[in-house]
Amino acid sequence: MKAILSCTLLFLALAANISGQTAPITADEAHHRAEALLKQMTIEEKVGQMNQSSGIVMPLLASEKPDNLIVQGKVGSILWLIDVKEINRLQHLAVDKSRLHIPILFAFDVIHGYRTVFPIPLAMAASWDPGVEEAAQHLAGEDARAAGIRWTFTPMVDIARDSRWGRIVEGAGEDPYLGAAMARAQVRGFQGESLGPDSVVACVKHFAGYGAAEGGRDYDSSYVPEELMQNVYLVPFHAAEQAGAGSFMSAYMDLNDVPATGNHWLLTDVLRKQWGFKGFVVSDAWAVGALQTHGYAKDPEDAAFKAVTAGLDMDMASLTYPKYLAGLVHSGKVKEAQLDAAVLPILEVKYELGLFDHPYVDESKVDSTLSRPEGRELERKVAARSMVLLKNDKHTLPLAKSIKKIAVIGALADSVRDIEGGWTVEGLFGGGSKSNPVTILAGLKNKLGPGTEINYVAGPSPVRLFPSLFDAISGTKPPPPPTDAEIAESIAKAKAAAAGADVVIAVVGETAVMSSESASRASMELPGIQQQMLEAAASTGKPLVLVLENGRPVDVQWASKHIPAILEAWYPGTEGGNAVADVLFGDVNPGGKLPISWAHSAGEEPLYYNHNLTHEPEDRPNFTSRYWDVSSKPLYPFGYGLSYTSFKFDHLRLSKTTMTTGDATEVQVDVTNTGKLAGDAVAQIYIHQRWGSASRPVRQLKGFKRIALQPGETQTLKFTLGKDELEFWSPQTKAWAVEPSTFDVWAGEDSTASLHAELSVTE
Ligand code: NOJ
C-alpha cells in the first residue's frame, strides 16, 4: 500500500512539472467569459459548438472539407483522432482562422490507459482500492493530455448484473456502492479536485440503464422501474456528478420505451433538476441520428428536435445537429435559449481547461511523457492488486521459484494483443499497441530466468471459433477454424508437456474482443478447445494452476472441482505478465475481491447478490426458488477472493444499537491476520432492512476498506451507518428517506459474511 501511495505522490509531483504553464481560472471567471463569448455568437456558431466531428469519418461524411468547417466555426469537438501533428494543425485552423478563435476540444476513449495500459476497469474495481484506480487514471490523464486529448469518455459507470453483456468489462461490476466509489476515484483521477489546466474532462457514461439490456444483448432495450433506477443504476452516476464530472454521455438504448438520447426525464428532470448538473451532455456515437432508427423520431430533423429539447447538448458524429438545428431555431421550433443553455457549459469547460490560453500540444514532449518508466511500475502494481485468487487448495500457490520444469498451456499465455484488453488507444487507432506489453509467458520467463525450463504449448487462439467477430474488429481476413488434426495435435501436445513438467500453468479465458462493445455471449463456456486442453493437462495428475485472462466471468465449474488453484488475472495490462508472475511466485500476496457474482453458467444470469428475498428462498426444503440443474447461488459470491494468508473478523460492535432516523452509529470490527504471511484483507460491511414501505435487498454493501496486515496483527476498523447508508428511494413515497425498522449488519470478507449485529431505528 505504501509503495502504491508513494507512486501516486511521485506522479502528482511529475504532473506538476509536465503541465503547470497555465494559471487556473475560477469557475466563476470561466462562466463570465463564456457568457460574454456566447453573446457574440451566431446561431450557426452555437450549433458548431454542439457538433462533435469524428476524426476518422469526418472527411468522408461531411459535404464540405473538414478544414472549411473548422474555419467557419462549425466544429466544437473532434473525437477519434490521435495524430498529434494533425491535432495541432486543426487546432491552428480553429484558433487562428475562425471568426471567434474558439479552440477545439479533442476527445478520445482513454478508458484504462493511453500508452501504458492499466487493467480493465472491472479488474481495477476488483482491487477494492479506489486509491489505485485514481492513481492509474491520473497517469492515463497525464498521458492523454500530453498527446492533445483533453476529454476522455470515462468513467463508464453502468451497473452490470448480467455477465452475458460484454461491456461488463468496462465498468465496476454489479454493486452501486462499490461502483460509486470507483466512479468518484476516476473523476478525481482525470480531473483532480476541480477542472483546471492539468485536467482531462471526465465523461460519465452511458446515461443510464445501459447495463440492464434485455438478455445481456448489447444495445438492446432496458426496462428499469424508477425505484431500481434510483436505488441501483443511477447511484454511481450521481456520485460521479457530485465529484464534479464535467460531462455525461447519453446511452444508446431505449429506457422504458424512450431512447436515452431523447429522454427528458433522464437528461433534464434527473440530471439537471434533481442533481443540479452544470456540465454538458454528449450523445453516444451517432445516437442522435439513431432516434429515428429506434422508431422514436419521425425523421432526422425530428431527431435533432427531440434530442435538443430533452437536454442533449452535443451530437457525437451523427451530423444531425449541424444539418437541422439552425433551421429549427430559425423556424421558431427550438428556442435560441435552448442552444445557449447547451453551449454555455461547453465553453465554460474549454475556459476552465485553459484551452483558450494554451490550445496546442507540445509535440517534442509527447514520446518522453508516454514512455515514462514510472507508468509501467505503477501498472504492474495495480495489475497485481486487481487479481483475485478464486481457489488455492493445499497451498498450491505460491509456487517455488526453484521449480525446474514448467509447462505453460494456452494461446492467451503469449498473446500480445489480448493482455491489455479491448480499449487500447494506440492499438485501436494507431495501428497497434506501442507499449510493448509483457505477456504471461514473458512474465514467467522474466521471473524465473534460465534455470527453469518452460515448455509452451499454445494451441489455436480461442477467437478462431468466432471468425466473423474477429473479422469485424480487425478488418482482416479471419483465420480459419482449427482443423480436426490441429485440435488433436494441440491436445496431445498439452498432455505431453504437462506429463514432463513439475508444474502446469494453464492460461485460459476469452480474447479481448470477446468482452467489449457489441460482444455479448449466450454461453459462458471457455471458447475454442481450451477446456479440452485443460482436461488433457489435468489428466496427467501434475499440479495445475489455472490463470484466467478475461473480461467477464467464464464457466469454470469443471475447473473449480478438479484444478487446485485458480487465479483471476483479468486483462491485466501492459505489465500484466510480470504482475501475474509476481502473484504466482508469491512476491505479491493477492488481495483482490470479485466486484460481481460469478455464476455457474449463463443460464443463471442475471445474477447479483443484492436481490430481494423471495417467499421461498433456495435453502428452504420445498417449492423453492431454484433450478433443477444448478444452484441459484453463485459459484463465487460478490466480494469473494482468497489470500495466501488467512484473516479472522470479530467483535462487531455498534456505538448505538438503537437510534432515530436522523442519527448515525459507528460500526467497529477487529480484523486479524491469522496466517504466516503478510497480506491484504478487504473488510466489507453489509446491511439489510427487515421491513418498511418497500421490500429491501437481502444484503447491501455499505462500507469497505482494504488494509495490509502483518502475521498476527489486528486492526480495528471503523465505519459509519447514517443517512447516506440507510436511506433508500421508496416506490410508495417516491422519495429518499431513512425509515424506522430493524437493520441487520454484517461484517466480513465477502457478501456471505456471518458476523452479525442488529440496529434498531425509530422515528
Ligand atoms: C461508442 C461507445 O458506446 C462509447 O462508450 C464510446 O465512448 C463511443 N463509442 C466513442 O468511442
Identify the pLDDT of residue 19.
42
The CATH number, out of the four listed (1.20.120.1200, 2.60.40.10, 3.40.50.1110, 3.30.390.10), of the domain defined by the range 647-762? 2.60.40.10
Distance 32 CA to ligand 1 centre (A): 32
Q: What residues contact 442, with CB distance under 8 A and at least 6 apart?
A: 414, 577
Instruction: Specify the DSSP element, H or E, that contains 304.
Output: helix 300-310
- Residue 469 pLDDT: 57
Backbone angles phi, psi at 419, to 5 degrees: -60, -25
Which atom number of ligand 1 is nearest to the Cα of residue 316? 10
How far apart (Å, rounded) are the C-alpha atoms in residues 180 and 700? 13
Q: What are the phi and psi torsion angles at 387 (to 5°)?
A: -75, 150
Nearest alpha carbon, ligand 1 atom 2: 284
Let me know if domain 2-365 sits in CATH 3.20.20.300: yes
Could you read off the pLDDT of 120-143 as tens digits, one per residue? 999 999 999 999 999 999 999 999
Report CA(4)–ligand 1 centroid distance (Å). Answer: 30
> Catalytic residue positions?
284
- For residue 58, what pLDDT is reported? 57
> Domain limits of the chain?
2-365, 383-604, 647-762
Please report, rounded to a whole number, the percentage of residues in the chain having pLDDT higher than 70: 94
At 432, the pLDDT band (50, 70, 90 cuts) reads: confident
Query: CA 512: distance to chain centroid?
Result: 14
Digit-coded pLDDT (tens) for 461-483: 887 766 555 555 556 666 788 89
- Residue 529 CB neighbours (<10 A): 22
Which three three-digit cell numbers place residue 434? Answer: 506501442
Residues 200-220: tens digit of each pLDDT:
999 999 999 999 999 999 999
Query: What's the pLDDT score for residue 489?
Result: 97
Ligand 1: atom nearest CA of 203 is 7
**If you take atom 3 of ligand 1, which residue's CA is the nearest one?**
284
Radius of gyration (Cα) for the chain, nearest Å?
26
Residue 2's pLDDT is 38
Are 320 and 47 in contact by the 8 Å Cβ rule? The answer is no
Read out DSSP for 538-605? HTTT--EEEEEE-SS----HHHHHH-SEEEE--S--TTHHHHHHHHHTTSS------SS-B-SSGGG-
Mutate to test the pocket of ligand 1, among 57, 157, 249 (most ligand atoms within 8 A of CB): 249
Q: What is the model's pLDDT at position 15?
A: 40
What is the pLDDT of the chain when averaged over all its residues?
93
Residues 6+ apart with CB under 8 A from 472: none
Phi, psi of 584 (to 5 degrees): -60, -35
Closest atom of ligand 1 to 153 CA is 7
Out of 44-58, 62-76, 491-505, the most confident range is 491-505
End-to-end CA distance of the chain: 42
Say whether the peptide bond before residue 206 is cis (omega within 30 degrees of 0).
Answer: yes
State the CB neighbour count (10 A cutoff) for residue 8: 19
Q: Which residues pair with 116 in a beta bridge?
A: none
* 285 CA → ligand 1 middle, Å: 6
The answer on pLDDT for 7 being more than 60 is no
Ligand 1, atom nearest to 206 Cα = 5
Q: Which of 79, 186, 205, 429 to mutate to test the pocket of ligand 1 (most atoms within 8 A of CB)?
A: 205
- What residue ranges line ligand 1, CB within 6 angstroms? 109, 153, 205, 284-285, 517
pLDDT at 24: 85
Q: Which amino acid is residue 166, in one-letter code?
A: G
How far apart are the C-alpha atoms of 132 and 180, rounded to whole Å? 15
Tens digits of residue pLDDT in 576-628: 999 999 999 999 999 999 999 999 999 999 999 999 998 877 777 777 888 88
Q: What are the distances in angstroms from CA 509 to CA 393, 417, 529, 547? A: 21, 14, 11, 8
Q: How far apart are CA 739 and CA 736, in angstroms?
A: 9
pLDDT tens digits, 377-424: 999 999 999 999 999 999 999 999 999 999 999 999 999 989 999 888
Q: Which atom number of ligand 1 is nearest to the Cα of residue 252? A: 3
Residue 318 CA to ligand 1 center (angstroms) comes to 13
Split at pLDDT 50, 70, 90, the class of 13 is very low
Looking at residue 516, its pLDDT comes to 87
Compute, in angstroms, the gap from residue 77 CA to the centroid of ligand 1.
15
Going from the Cα of 425 to the center of ligand 1, the distance in angstroms, rounded, reads 12
Please name the residue whose Cα sits nearest to atom 9 of ligand 1: 285
**DSSP-derived pairing of the beta strands 51-54 and 315-316:** parallel
| pLDDT score of 614 | 86
- Cα(26) to ligand 1 centroid in Å equals 30
Q: How far apart are CA 26 and CA 193, in angstroms?
A: 13
Q: In testing the pocket of ligand 1, which one of 77, 109, 154 has its CB within 8 Å of the most ligand atoms? A: 109
pLDDT at position 14, please?
38
**Is residue 12 pLDDT above 80, yes or no?**
no
- Beta carbons of 56 and 80 less than 8 angstroms apart: yes
The arithmetic mean of pLDDT across residues 658-663, rounded, is 98
Asked whether 682 and 641 are in contact (CB, 8 A), the reply is yes
CATH T-level fold of 383-604: Rossmann fold (3.40.50)
**Please, are residues 197 and 19 in contact by the beta-carbon 8 Å criterion?**
yes
Q: How far is the CA of 284 from the centre of ligand 1 (A)?
A: 6
207 within 8 A of 271, measured Cβ to Cβ = yes
How high is the pLDDT of residue 427?
A: 78
**What's the CA gap between 285 and 249, in Å, rounded?**
9
Q: Which mutation among 261, 281, 517, 518 tests ligand 1's pocket best, with the greatest number of atoms within 8 A of CB?
A: 517
Pairing verdict, β 741-748 and 679-689: antiparallel
Query: Which residue stretches of 192-299 are H helix?
Result: 226-228, 235-242, 264, 290-293
Q: Which residues pair with 746 in a beta bridge?
A: 686, 756
Nearest CA to ligand 1 atom 4: 284
Looking from the CA of 497 toward its CB, the CA atoms found within 13 Å total: 26
Distance of CA 332 to the CA centre of its chain: 42
